[in-house]
Structure 1
Amino acid sequence: MSVNTAGSIAAGAHAGPSEDADEFERELWATLDTVPDPHIPVSLVEMAMVYDIDAGGGDVTVTMTFPCMGCPAYDMIKDDVRAALRTVRGVTDVNIEITWDPVWSKDMLTNNAREELRDAGISL
């Protein structure tokens, strides 16, 4: 199972599972949507940092990016992703692949993320 949003994330679009995603895929995305960015009060999914979730059996691979290279929180974010997904029944292993294609941009933020950032006093 693979749900790829990398090629379709446009300004204000919703990052997440495709319309035809099964219940397991939706649970994986929903679980990742609870993992906050450590710097701002928005989830990694709403930040559009998660590009793809591929689940084959109990092995889950998350393809994601970061807003900038050299972020000191890389390891913490990856650990948070692994820990969150391991709580999902049926997940036996979590692998994380980092990609820089496409390069993350603030234009990829969901509309909800934009509102939450504004409410927190963070300008875009």
Structure 2
Amino acid sequence: MKLSSVEVAVMEALEQVIDPELGIDIVNLGLIYGVEVNAGKCQIKMTLTTQGCPLSDILHQDIVRQVKKIKDIQSVDVQLVWYPVWTVEKMSRYAWIALGMERG
């Protein structure tokens, strides 16, 4: 699925949201499952590394703050989803290297 220019801008903004525990942005961690922008309303589907993540509120606030900086965005809705389940295989090559991990 091809992203619009505004959706690309949203993904770039989400790269500025850093997971405080891992020190990697949420896009490279593979936590973003979808971005849709329609008439200034942005909907983001994402997951967390664990369901009991104590930092979810901090991440949510940072996501809204970063995405609202985009000119054409009036509102941001972050929807947490738990399927598909997040695994380390969803991380980008950059995240693997930054965390000092090797793909098996």
Write the distance in 1 (CA, Å) between the matches of 2:58 and 2:16. 15
Aligned pairs (5 A) from 1:37-76: 37-76=19-58
Unpaired stretches in structure 2, ≥5 consecutive residues = none
Write the distance in 1 (CA, Å) between the matches of 2:43 and 2:83. 17
Which amino acid in structure 1 is aligned with residue 7 of structure 2? E
1:108 aligns with 2:84: no
Alpha-carbon displacement from aligned partner over 1:74-119 (angstroms, at most 9, x marks no partner): 111111101100001111000011100000001111001101111x
Shift of residue 54, structure 1, vs aligned partner: 1.0
Write the distance in 1 (CA, Å) between the matches of 2:11 and 2:53. 23
Shift of residue 22, structure 1, vs aligned partner: 2.5
What does residue 30 of structure 1 align with?
A: 12
Alpha-carbon displacement from aligned partner over 1:46-68 (angstroms, at most 9, x marks no partner): 00001001111111010000010
Unpaired stretches in structure 1, ≥5 consecutive residues = 1-17
Which amino acid in structure 1 is aligned with residue 15 of structure 2? D
TM score, norm. by length of structure 1: 0.78
Q: Once superposed, what is the RMSD of the aligned Cα atoms?
A: 1.2
Matching residue within 60, 67, 70 for 1:85: 67
TM score, norm. by length of structure 2: 0.92
Task: State how many pairs are aligned.
Answer: 102
Which amino acid in structure 1 is aligned with residue 38 of structure 2? G
Shift of residue 24, structure 1, vs aligned partner: 1.2
Which amino acid in structure 1 is aligned with residue 36 of structure 2? D
Write the distance in 2 (CA, Å) between the matches of 1:21 and 1:51. 13
Structure 1 moving runs of 4+ over 3 Å: none
Write the distance in 2 (CA, Å) between the matches of 1:29 and 1:114. 19
Write the distance in 2 (CA, Å) between the matches of 1:21 and 1:67. 25
